[in-house]
Amino acid sequence: MSDDTSKSKESFEPVHTNKTGGSPFTGVVGWIDDRLPIIRMFKHEYLDFQVPRSLSYFWSFGGILTICLILLIITGLSLGMHYKPDAKYAFESVEKIMRDVNFGWLIRYAHMNLSSFFFIAVYLHIFRSLYYGSYKNPRELMWLIGIVIFFLMMATAFLGYTLPWGQMSYWGATVITNLFSAIPLVGESVVTWLWGDYAVGDAALNRFYVLHWLIAFLIVGVVAFHVIALHIVGSNNPSGIEPKDTRDTVSFSPFTTSKDLVAMLVFLLIFVAVMMYAPNYMGHPDNYIPANPMVTPAHIVPEWYFLPFYAILRSVPDKLMGVVAMVSSIAALGLLPWLDFSKVKSSVFRPIWKQCIFLFVLDFFVLMYIGGAPAEGIYLIIGRIGTAFWFAFFFILAPLVSLIEKPLPMPQSIHEFEEWKKQGKLKTIKLFNKNK
């Protein structure tokens, strides 16, 4: 009896299942935000979010890539409403879009050139990350997600390249999909499954069309994870030093958004100029010829943004090992956080590693040129040298430089880094040496 009495006298905290009333906004906005706090989240993550005060215009490529992705999806949807994924009518449907659909030429040229500019921005984004060590602790996972996005981009771009069903589209699809036949035991079956037949034709085109859309929307989802990871660990900065107090940070808006808007405007102006005055500059003229399985082009090449990896593929005589080398050349980027184990992030304070980065970028452009040249003679030799250096950069230079390099004197904080810049201490090694 006494036990029952004591239980009845116990006090319990009330349970609140309805979490309304926490919004800082009023009116209709507050009512919506109480029930779906997306406005509150946006304000926290994109307006009040603290970023390092030393961010430069090189950190604007995230916003540029977001704009490119949105425009690619919008223009792609517009093109998809008129395109026919049929080997007999695909080329004609593209021509109809260009000639008969209102502003169809503009939409197609925009989509076509946006894919190139998307890769330009991505490559600049990667080179900036390499130079400033944005792949290092605590951003390893964010870097790996970025590499996954890059793989998906390449797959989407290749599939999109096949859709116009021009001469280079057809033969590019034939050559690239045939690479899967190098896989031991199951290679031929994989190729047949991709083609849906025993040759690239109508079934393959339908598969490419569906996969192009599927992977494109998959990219959107993975990009969301990339952004979430960024907001958890925060942005890197030119100094490579993590923020220590409020003197090292500023609000994302307006300090960073203003730079992003300027960079986006400049990028879009360049894009519009290219699209209007040289829309086919980065394309191949053979793609304006209908696909003909009976006529092989003298020189089959992919789009320009695949050329460095195409050169690596061709530099290896064995088909299977060539495919392995091509895939590994990209996957090696994902291993860099563990291959480069220097505690210093930014190349500003790493004189030897800085030179290695410059040589790596130069090698990238050399391989790009070789990828567009015939696989013979001096071109083949240069391609093999470039391929050897590509892998040496990751598996030899990165760990070796981490061991032997003596970093330059560094500031203790980001705001001190900014003071050093104002005083000109970052311009020469001599000035650094005076501060030892």
Residues noted as catalytic: 231, 235, 259-260, 303
197-217: average pLDDT: 94
Residue 39 and residue 71 in contact, taking contact as beta carbons nearer than 8 Å: no
> Can you tell me the distance from the alpha carbon of 218 to that of 40, in angstroms, rounded to the nearest whole number?
26
Task: Return the closest-CA partner of residue 371 out of 341, 329, 418.
Answer: 329
H or E stretch at 325: helix 319-339
* Model confidence, pTM: 0.91
Domain boundaries, the chain: 55-300, 304-414
The mean predicted confidence, pLDDT, of the chain is: 91
Question: Residue 166 is which amino acid?
Answer: G
Q: How confident is the model at residue 9 (pLDDT cuts 50, 70, 90)?
A: low
Domain 304-414 top-level CATH class: mainly alpha
| Neighbouring-strand partners of residue 250 | 51
| Neighbouring-strand partners of residue 249 | 52
pLDDT, one tens digit per residue, over 208-231 is 999 999 999 999 999 999 999 999
pLDDT at position 429 is 42
pLDDT at position 427 is 67
Question: Residue 370 is which amino acid?
Answer: I
Is the confidence at residue 431, as pLDDT, over 80? no
Cα–Cα distances (Å) from 142 to 215, 229, 389, 399, in that order, read 20, 6, 26, 21
pLDDT, one tens digit per residue, over 371-415 is 999 989 999 999 999 999 999 999 999 999 999 999 999 999 999
pLDDT at position 20 is 52
Residue 348 and residue 208 in contact, taking contact as beta carbons nearer than 8 Å: no
Q: How confident is the model at residue 21 (pLDDT cuts 50, 70, 90)?
A: low
Residue 285 has which token pair? 């003229």
Task: Return the closest-CA partner of residue 157 out of 210, 119, 196.
Answer: 119
For residue 256, count CB atoms less than 10 angstroms from its CB and return exposed for 0-12, middle for 13-18, buried for 19 or more: buried
What b/e string do you get for 306-341 counting C-beta neighbours within 10 Å, with b at 16 or more?
Answer: bbbbbbbbbbbeeeeebbebbeebeebbbbbbebbe
Count of other CB atoms within 10 angstroms of residue 81: 9
pLDDT, one tens digit per residue, over 303-318 is 999 999 999 999 999 9
pLDDT at position 45 is 82
23-47: average pLDDT: 84
pLDDT at position 339 is 97
Per CATH, 55-300 and 304-414 having the same topology is answered no
Is the confidence at residue 13, as pLDDT, over 90? no
**CATH architecture, domain 55-300:** Up-down Bundle (1.20)
Task: Return the closest-CA partner of residue 119 out of 145, 157, 81.
Answer: 157
> Can you tell me the distance from the alpha carbon of 34 to that of 36, in angstroms, rounded to the nearest whole number?
6
pLDDT, one tens digit per residue, over 62-105 is 999 999 999 999 999 999 999 999 999 999 999 999 999 999 99
Is the confidence at residue 342, as pLDDT, over 90? yes
